[in-house]
Amino acid sequence: MQKAAVTDYPVHDLIRNRWSPRAFSDKTVEPAVLASLFEAARWAASSYNDQPWSYLVATKDDAENCRKMLSVLVEFNAKWAKNAPVLAISVARRNFSHNGTPNPVAVHDVGAANAQLTAEATSRGLLVHQMAGFYHDKARKEFGIPEGWDPVSAIAIGYPGDPQTLPEDFRKSELAPRTRKPIREFVMTGSWGHTAPFASK
């Protein structure tokens, strides 16, 4: 299922076609394709080129790892994410590797890596749904995440599925139109609350 955004200004199709579904096909994501997604994450920009990201990944052919991954999701997300062929958790290193001082943009940089992973996935006909709803402490315990590293987001990756396979409450959300606030509400110049002229549409 495609769900292209209706934009106010022209953007690349990778941006228009990116969305976060809950219906996933059971089609396997080929290992070479999966490697390319994380290669895209690898080349994200980061402060001091510190690359403060790591990923824990579970694929459907590894039942025990998938069970662990599902066990750390809140029930709301586990209900639909169980159908995704790939589940992951992104993790941020809190301190810079070159001097050990706190990295105030570590989570931002992990987000940038996740965004590049998502763009690569979209270019290959895959969809990605990131989740805040998971138990961070349980993820730490289940996967042995060391001190100095923080779980950031859970991630479902896969090919588009049939919304009709979802429970009704999820299905309604899946089929609803995509909406965003206009850029005039958040792009400013000069002082807070003053809309940038180019964003006044």
Q: What local confidence, expressed as pLDDT, does residue 157 receive?
A: 98
Pair 148, 131: CB distance under 8 Å: no
Domains of the chain: 13-162 (3.40.109.10)
Rounded average pLDDT over 33-49: 98
Q: What confidence tens digit (pLDDT) does each residue in 101-148 have?
A: 999 999 999 999 999 999 999 999 999 999 999 999 999 999 999 999
Evaluate if pTM is beyond 0.85. Answer: yes
∠132-56-178 over CA atoms, to 5°?
A: 35
∠160-165-171 over CA atoms, to 5°?
A: 85
